[in-house]
Amino acid sequence: MLDNVQSVKFFLPELILTGAILVLIVYHVVTGKKKSLFAGYLTVVSVGAAMLIAGGIGSGGARDLFFGMVRIDEFSTFFKVIFSLATIFAAFMSIASSEVNGRRQTEYYVFLLSVTLGMYLLASATDLVMVYLSLELVSIPSYLLAGYLKRADDSVEGAVKYVVYGATASGIMIYGFSLLYGLTGTTSVAEIGRIVASGVSPLTLTVAFILVGVGFGYKIAAVPFHMWSPDVYEGAPTPVTAFLSVGPKAAGFAVLIRFFYAVFAQRVEGGQWALFEGVDWVTVFAVLSAVTMTVGNLVAIVQRNVKRLLAYSSIAHAGYMLMGFVLLNVEGLRAILFYLVVYLFMNTGAFLVVVLIANQIGSEDIEDYSGMGIRSPFLSVCMGIFLFALTGIPPFSGFIGKVYLFAGVIHSGLYWLAVIGVLNSVVSLYYYARILKVMFLEKPKSEEELPVGIYAKAFLAVLAFPTLLLGIYWEPIIRAAEASARLLGG
């Protein structure tokens, strides 16, 4: 365990992000409301630098910083890379989006960087106080980002809903934290785990589990705590939606895994975790997983707005990933980590296409996508790649992600969950294919070609290429995921 001074040099990535936030605030004050891309590019550069340094620090083994407030290990590093890429993609997407462009941009990027900093901390937090603080650091700027289009009613509506739900969930969660503190007399997650393992009142522990579970369940938008997400996702500027559905969701999984696996389970031999008597949260989450994916997919079928459809689809994907969470072994964790990587590319890609089309036709309704296959073949083919990857059809990366999830589930003998999972894949094909049907199979409303800039095309290619490549060769990523999962709590 390192003290405050020793810790600083390992805290460099977070310091870089903080520095960038401060610079932007000053910049905003100095330049006023002038339009400039500086903020966007500074975001990209600082997050990129933070990611590289975090990668370097993370490979040096596990370290507890600031008297055990945060823990730098391969697990958090893996997540930090995902967060950073999500932020960078979101920044580029915002630069390309006509929704965000041309407004008070500097503030926007300050919020974006703040969320990123929060996610960095959340993935490595090992203390109740730190968990709570970083969760709020993720949430509060997210509310602001969601309501960024303050002249649009749905943006404001989404943001208000987000705040109300978020505040309630935080309150419930921190009540759970207080029970845990009361039970054990410490705020250190590892310490709590140790004391819980030696035996505490099962009833209090169950109540604490339920309260904390609600808070985290809200963060990853698991059913029944998902009600906020379609409205927020639909109302927010599309780059923000893409970001929220990947970054904070991944952060939710990071803290869910780190917290639950340390507090409510015990590490045993062979890359497994064991439950304590009294709290069978695995079954609870297995059912939640099945319900989440089923509800997400079924409701997605009837959506007419692409953004809203993708919002429900991202609920369903959280359900898929929860399958890996309930397995209590390295295999399940590795599957989640791998899935998050492929999900980052395919989901961001799908949203990027939505942004580029909305830039031109000003609509996100599926109907208005008719004939895109002819109007812009490149955009449409990329959309096809992303949507088929989201469905989980080979040779795209989403398929491999699902294979690992299902493999873990089958290996652990939860056959019912595997069957529900694959049937959900079939259901999801129906609505993903509906978008493609409109794009490729229906006659265009106008024959006019849709101009797509060269940078937009390059950006799309950057997202589409890994989506395809990771479906054909994914060995390095799965090995990295495996290593990160294996070292968790080790």
As a whole number of angstroms, the distance between CA 275 and CA 441 comes to: 51
Is 461 a binding residue for another protein by CB under 8 A? The answer is no
Q: Torsion over CA of 160, 163, 164 and 165, rounded to 10 degrees?
A: 120
As a whole number of angstroms, the distance between CA 386 and CA 330 comes to: 28
Residue selected from 268, 426, 458, 461 as contacting another protein according to rule CB under 8 A: 426
Is 478 a binding residue for another protein by CB under 8 A? The answer is yes
Is 430 a binding residue for another protein by CB under 8 A? The answer is yes
3-state SS, 227-245, equals: CHHHHHHHHCCHHHHHHHH
Candidates 165, 469, 476, 217; CA nearest to 322 is 217
Is 410 a binding residue for another protein by CB under 8 A? The answer is yes
Is 395 a binding residue for another protein by CB under 8 A? The answer is yes
Residue selected from 228, 285, 440, 459 as contacting another protein according to rule CB under 8 A: 440
Residue selected from 1, 37, 164, 441 as contacting another protein according to rule CB under 8 A: 441
List C-alpha distances in Å: 366 to 271, 300, 309, 343, 443.
45, 12, 9, 22, 13
Cα–chain center distance at 110: 19
Is 479 a binding residue for another protein by CB under 8 A? The answer is yes
Residue selected from 152, 419, 462, 468 as contacting another protein according to rule CB under 8 A: 419
Cβ distance to another protein smaller for residue 235 or 384: 384
Window of 53-61, 79-87, 92-100, 440-448 that interacts with another protein by CB under 8 A: 440-448
The region that residue 229 occupies, defined by phi over 0 for left and psi between -120 and 50 for alpha, beta otherwise, is: alpha
Contact 471, 397 (CB under 8 A): yes
Q: Which residues pair with 273 in a beta bridge?
A: 267
User: What is the smallest separation between the CB atom of 489 and another protein, expressed in angstroms?
Assistant: 22
Window of 7-15, 169-177, 427-435, 460-468 that interacts with another protein by CB under 8 A: 427-435
List C-alpha distances in Å: 95 to 16, 44, 45, 46, 470.
22, 11, 14, 16, 27
Cβ distance to another protein smaller for residue 20 or 464: 464
Residue selected from 55, 278, 394, 444 as contacting another protein according to rule CB under 8 A: 394
Residue selected from 63, 103, 437, 486 as contacting another protein according to rule CB under 8 A: 437
User: What is the smallest separation between the CB atom of 415 and another protein, expressed in angstroms?
Assistant: 8
Please provide residue 275's backbone torsions phi and psi, each rounded to the nearest 5 degrees: -80, 155
Is 12 a binding residue for another protein by CB under 8 A? The answer is no
Is 407 a binding residue for another protein by CB under 8 A? The answer is yes
Is 411 a binding residue for another protein by CB under 8 A? The answer is yes
As a whole number of angstroms, the distance between CA 444 and CA 368 comes to: 9
User: What is the smallest separation between the CB atom of 437 and another protein, expressed in angstroms?
Assistant: 6
User: What is the smallest separation between the CB atom of 174 and another protein, expressed in angstroms?
Assistant: 40
Q: Give the amino acid at 58.
A: G
* Number of other CB atoms surrounding residue 426 within 10 Å: 11
Is 23 a binding residue for another protein by CB under 8 A? The answer is no
Is 429 a binding residue for another protein by CB under 8 A? The answer is yes
User: What is the smallest separation between the CB atom of 392 and another protein, expressed in angstroms?
Assistant: 9
Cβ distance to another protein smaller for residue 86 or 477: 477
The region that residue 270 occupies, defined by phi over 0 for left and psi between -120 and 50 for alpha, beta otherwise, is: left
Q: Where are the alpha helices (DSSP H) in 147-227?
A: 153-184, 189-197, 202-219
Residues contacting 413, CB < 8 A, separation 6+: none
Residue selected from 75, 120, 386, 474 as contacting another protein according to rule CB under 8 A: 474
Cβ distance to another protein smaller for residue 415 or 465: 415
User: What is the smallest separation between the CB atom of 239 and another protein, expressed in angstroms?
Assistant: 29
Cβ distance to another protein smaller for residue 49 or 407: 407
Give the residues lining the site for another protein (CB under 8 A). 373-374, 377, 388, 393-395, 399, 403, 406-407, 410-411, 415, 418-419, 422-423, 425-426, 429-430, 433-434, 437, 440-442, 473-475, 478-479, 482
